[in-house]
Amino acid sequence: MCACKKNRNVIFRMNILQKILKNSRTEEDGIFFKKIYQITGFKPKKLEIYERAFTHSSVHKIDENGRVISYERLEFLGDAMLGSVIAAYLFREIPNQDEGYLTKMRSKIVSRDNLNNLGKQLGLIELVTSKVSQKHFGENIYGNLFEALVGAIYLDRGYLTCEKFISKKLITPYVDIEKLEGKIISYKSLMIEWCQKHKKQFAIRVEEEKSAEAQKHFSAQLLIDGKIVSKARATSKKRAEETASKRAYFAFQKEIQLKT
């Protein structure tokens, strides 16, 4: 058999194999593939990585090694990738500030509120496979999914593509250095610092509410010099504390700004 005929046979077999693989993708996979493409701007090479990024542990899906499949491991990886890309960006863009300033700015950019808002805007919750109703997810699910998606992109496409995605979705549209300098990332820390500086007693009382609701709720009371100055209710202890602290800050805002 001549070389030309052999080559034609090889190409023919490859085309047949590609068609088989293409047809083996379910309609559901095709819809998921299209949504990932719309969000990221590129076609995923390994769709199963992205499927893992949107699988909730409640599904009890197991991989070939007997480990539970969920987005949480990719969330961990994505968190590290975000920190790395943002740190490199700040290092390049702000050459005259020390590491303390750069660390604070990075924390503001990758704050939970920012990532939650971005996850909402991208509609990531709609891609989740879960046995838990969406209404029972906490607010942080949006940011967690965004981090998991970043982790999936890194595994599928590598650092450069991951960096471009973060730049396109987070840095370019939302990072304004001047505005971020004045942004408060923790009202609780701010209130504690202000109270310590002016010799005021600061305390937060948090209790888990007894309720028939499926999701837990926590109530918080913030006290200054023994007096309750704000209250809050949330689905996590940390969020209840932060909301109560934010309300206290706005109640004392004029005094804080005058005395800080």
Which residues are tagged catalytic?
79, 147
Helix (H) or strand (E) holding 127: none
Q: How far apart are the first and last CA of the chain?
A: 87
The Cα–Cα gap between 70 and 245 comes to: 33
Contacts of 249 (CB under 8 A, 6+ apart): 184, 187, 190, 191, 256
Residue 248 · residue 186 · CB < 8 Å: no
Q: DSSP assignment, residue 209? A: P
Cβ-in-10-Å burial (0-12, 13-18, 19+) of 54 comes to: buried
The Cα–Cα gap between 97 and 91 comes to: 9
Closest to 54 (Cα-Cα) out of 186, 150, 160: 150
Task: Give the number of other CB atoms < 10 A from CB of residue 228.
Answer: 13
Q: Tokens at residue 240, please?
A: 């209840």
